[in-house]
Chains A and B, each alone.
Chain A
Amino acid sequence: MPAPTLPSENATTPAASPSGYALEFDNVSIAFDERVVLDGVSFQLPHGETKALFGVAGSGKSILLKLAIGLLRPDRGRIFVLGEEVTRMSEQDLFELRRRVGMVFQESALFDSLKVFENVGFRLMEEGVPPEEIERRVREVLRFVELEQTYDMFPSELSGGMRRRVAIARAIITEPEVLLYDSPTGGLDPVTSNTIVELIVKQRDVYKTSALMVTHRLQDAFTMATHEFDKATNKMVVLPKGQRGEVPMSFLILRDAKVIFDGDAHQLAASRDDYIREYIS
């Protein structure tokens, strides 16, 4: 299925941050009561790269995303987003930084009392953008996720997959430099999952947006590592043999509160670690 048309053709690569990475975790730990969720987690997300984050249920993947955007504070360690140390920022300063970061929540987290256009255009309304401009951009981004017909609907009238795509539209409407996806394809049928994977690949290849994606579905991440977005045909195409895995895509695996793997598709396939072999088999 071809992907919908692009909302903007003047995509640019974001400027490098002082830390050199779009996102960086440095020895980050967090515990809730007696339970250690993350213990000394360190990794970097280079600009323009998409990193798929794996781990069994309850391994702290969603917590890691919330830490990255400053919704939670770590007990120890430092986190940098676009060169800014979020662990030292006040909540007020974080609101400014979050305008440059988009997040797609696990259950979409759409505002149920607002219509789709109000949800998608929420950030623009907060910024005081004129209503005509908001409508134009909301329609554009809804077209991008193939849901323009839902403009006047409430989230409760949408299916799970549609809600997820509206959440993606809300996250990308301001063209953020970093995107955080929390299980964007979780619980969806294969066709809808593929549409969402295609949208994520398009964000990566066309807009060069850095992204951290929590997922349970290994096949989605491998699809992203073996495909690229073709602007000419406006759809995702498989890379020729020999070039597979040559896209800006990497994998991160969490186990027992620690990072046990951080590398690209080739390194993952070549790993001799029993747990990883079992995980990817």
Chain B
Amino acid sequence: MAFELELTSPIEVAKDFALAVQEYTLLSAQSLANFFRRPLYMGDMLYQADLIGVGSLPIVVLTGLSVGALLALNAASTLQRFGSVTLIGQLVSIGMVTELGPLITGLMVAGRNSSGMASELGSMIVTEQIDAMRALGTDPTKKLITPRVGATVFMLFFLTIIADLLGLIGGFAVAHLLFGVDTNQYWTSVWQTLVFRDVFTGLIKPVLFGFIISTVGCYYGMFTRGGTQGVGRSTTQAVVAASVLILIVDFFVTKLIFAIFGYR
């Protein structure tokens, strides 16, 4: 079997990229605008919330505990040299609440749900089910995309809180059991270290990440081309794009919050 290498001009690549950005922006804007139009499809939103939120709970619990424990373990080995092992609680709480909790939860849910959305909607596209829905007089962005966006944003917010809490518990387990840090000392340092800015940072990120996960997943699903092979491609691309976007947005949001509230 002979393979032909087809070279695409940079202009075509730039045009395709600009078109993709335009389509993604329109789809995202439409998904938000639909929250202000009837019907709202609350049933579909609850179903998606169950699928995304409850379905992702085990993986979020597991990663939250592991990351908190690992953070404490790595911090302790350095702090021990300076005799400051009691500061573990501070490091774990700032690390988990402002950065690792939202980031790890976002990446986990992106891997699980962006791909799911892209493959489900992509399959509907290639089997003409989306066209059938439009032909039946129903707006697919309203029926399929908006409930997914609403459910992901809402559930990721709470999943992140759970991941943060479990990360702190994981950190405590390591600090207490392996390094003998007192329970009261650990939780007091966790509590006293956190200020409004940290909590605000930690809670604004899942809202943005949830929006990215759902809109990217839906975008790749709705623009699937090329049959079942195309569905597979969309699924992979959705996970990669959502993860990369989360990392980029995370950096800029952190930088912006530092710019607004100042460095610690």
Task: Enumerate chain A interface residues (CB-CB to B < 8 A).
Answer: 66, 69, 71, 91-92, 95-96, 98-99, 101, 103, 105-107, 109-112, 122-123, 126, 170
Contact = CB atoms under 8 A, between A and B. Distances in A.
Nearest to B138: A126
Given A109-B127, A109-B128, A109-B129, A91 B135 contact: no
Given A95-B137, A98-B135, A98-B136, 4 more contacts: A99-B137, A110-B132, A122-B138, A126-B137
B131 interface: yes
A179 to B, nearest CB: 11
Interface in B106-146: 124, 127-129, 131-139
Contact of A103 (B124, B129, B135, B139): B135
A96 B137 CA distance: 6
22 contacts: A91-B139, A92-B139, A95-B134, A95-B137, A98-B134, A101-B135, A103-B135, A105-B128, A105-B135, A109-B127, A109-B128, A109-B129, A110-B129, A110-B132, A111-B124, A111-B129, A112-B127, A122-B136, A122-B138, A123-B136, A123-B137, A126-B39
A119 to B, nearest CB: 9
Contact of A112 (B129, B133, B134, B136): B129
Task: Place the interface of chain B in its size category.
Answer: 10 to 19
Contact of A105 (B132, B137, B138, B139): B132
- Scoring B39, B127, B128, B132 by chain A CB atoms within 10 A of each residue's CB, the highest score goes to B132
Contact of B135 (A69, A96, A106, A111): A69
Contact of B139 (A71, A95, A107, A122): A95
Nearest to A180: B135
A126 B136 contact: yes
Contacts of A112: 127, 129
A95 B142 CA distance: 12
Contacts of B127: 107, 109, 112
Contact of A109 (B132, B138, B139): B132
Nearest to A98: B137
A101 to B, nearest CB: 8
Nearest to A96: B137
Contacts of A99: 136-137
Nearest to B134: A71
Contacts of A96: 137
A107 B227 CA distance: 14
Contacts of B129: 109-112
A212 B137 CA distance: 19
Contacts of A105: 128, 131-132, 135
Nearest to A111: B129
Nearest to A95: B137
A137 to B, nearest CB: 15
Nearest to B142: A95
Contacts of B134: 71, 95, 98
Contacts of A109: 127-129, 131-132
A71 B131 contact: yes
Interface string B43-72: 000000000000000000000000000000
Nearest to B130: A109
Interface in B130-182: 131-139
B135 A71 contact: yes
Contacts of B135: 69, 71, 98, 101, 103, 105
Interface string B234-252: 0000000000000000000
Contacts of B139: 91-92, 95
A99 B138 CA distance: 9
Contacts of A103: 132, 135
A66 B131 contact: yes
Contacts of B132: 103, 105, 109-111
Contacts of A101: 135
B140 to A, nearest CB: 10
Contacts of B124: 111
B255 to A, nearest CB: 38
Contacts of A122: 136, 138
Contacts of A69: 135
A92 B134 CA distance: 10
A66 B39 CA distance: 26
Contacts of B39: 126
A71 B130 CA distance: 10
B131 A95 contact: no
A172 B41 CA distance: 25
A192 B139 CA distance: 33
